[in-house]
Amino acid sequence: MSKARKLRESMAENGLVHIMAAHSPLSAILAEEAGFDGLWASGFELSALYGLPDMSLVSMTQHLDMLRAIEGKSSLPIVADIDTGYGNAINVIHAIAEYERAGASAVVIEDKTFPKVTSLAADGRQELLRIQEFQGKVEAAIATRKDPDFLVIARTEALIASLGEQEALKRAHAYVEAGADMILIHSKKKDPSEIESFARAWNGDVPLTIVPNAYPDLDADRIKALGSIRMVIYGNYGIRAATTAMQDAFRRIVADGGVQNIHKDIIPVEEVFRLQGMEKTKADEKRFLR
């Protein structure tokens, strides 16, 4: 059974799947050990890893390379954040073939113009494609996938662009008409009211995905109560958690004039060895090095 099939089945069985952002194979390993249902190959996280803003600066090749490395170290399904699909519908055809071959189980493609501006920035320049043009991109994605279980999730940025719920609903319905398997509705409001209102108004034939980055109060119980949401993506928590930990440790080392204190508060190197799979390598050395 493909991982995409498993992802669909776990949505059907559990009602809601929890997808954790991963920006590296190590973060993917940690997400799997923690018990998440899948991984989010986040454009924001990978951009941040390169010290770049999330504005279509990281190339498809860079993103695919990381996705392949992640796929090699995790058995979880990967939901790939392909931003705008790297151009028009022709670029989408190329992207879907590449991402499916790289082992992704789903893609999220958003209705902004290329190059995009990250969604959560205050006063970000947010331009949306014409509905028909984005429908063509969704149709191109559907026509290209080989595995019918591979999920094409259409993301509307209508609320991010402050165009209101009616425009968001209109776009979401148009994208379902084009064949989208799910709709991702995004919001940068600090409270979940906009998302809750959209989710209650949604009467389309496919379920919703959300990314509660800006409105953390919407927990799993509240999401389930809304009924129409089947996937929650924790979109920037991996990179924020890692950055919090490194900022704290690095500052303490400078302040303390050495590592004499910090070493007690971080994992020992043996834990890193475990995550690296050193046990197996040691066994392989015994077996094969002569």
Beta carbons of 21 and 214 less than 8 angstroms apart: no
- Among this protein's residues, is 54 annotated catalytic? yes
Residue of 37, 54, 81, 181 with catalytic role: 54
d(CA 250, CA 242): 12
Residue 120 interacts with ligand SPV (CB under 6 A)? yes
Q: Return the residues of window 12-31 that contact ligand SPV according to CB under 6 A.
A: 21
Question: Mind giving me the DSSP string for 104-153?
Answer: -SEEEEESBPSSP--TTSTT----BPPHHHHHHHHHHHHHH-SSTTSEEE
Neighbours of 267 (CB within 10 A): 9
Site string for ligand SPV, 53-92 (x = CB under 6 A): -x--------------------------x-----------
d(CA 24, CA 142): 28
Strands 151-156 and 182-185: parallel
CB of residue 184 to ligand SPV, shortest distance in Å? 9
CB of residue 19 to ligand SPV, shortest distance in Å? 10
Residue 120 contact partner, candidates Mg ion, ligand SPV, none, CB within 5 to 8 A by sort of partner: ligand SPV
Beta carbons of 134 and 175 less than 8 angstroms apart: yes
Chain residues binding Mg ion by CB under 5 A are 43-44, 81
Q: Which of 116, 235, 237, 238 binds ligand SPV (CB under 6 A)?
A: 235
Q: CB under 6 A: which stretch of 27-35, 37-45, 65-73, 193-201 binds ligand SPV?
A: 37-45
Beta carbons of 79 and 233 less than 8 angstroms apart: yes
Q: Which of 37, 236, 238, 242 binds ligand SPV (CB under 6 A)?
A: 236
Beta carbons of 20 and 237 less than 8 angstroms apart: yes
Residue 152 interacts with ligand SPV (CB under 6 A)? no
133: closest CA among 161, 151, 112?
112
The strand pairing partners of 107, in sequence order, are 80, 152
Number of residues that bind ligand SPV (CB under 6 A): 14
Residue 119 contact partner, candidates ligand SPV, Mg ion, none, CB within 5 to 8 A by sort of partner: ligand SPV
Residue 119 interacts with ligand SPV (CB under 6 A)? yes
Q: Which residues are catalytic?
A: 54
Residues lying near ligand SPV in the complex (CB under 6 A): 21, 42-45, 54, 81, 118-120, 211, 213, 235-236
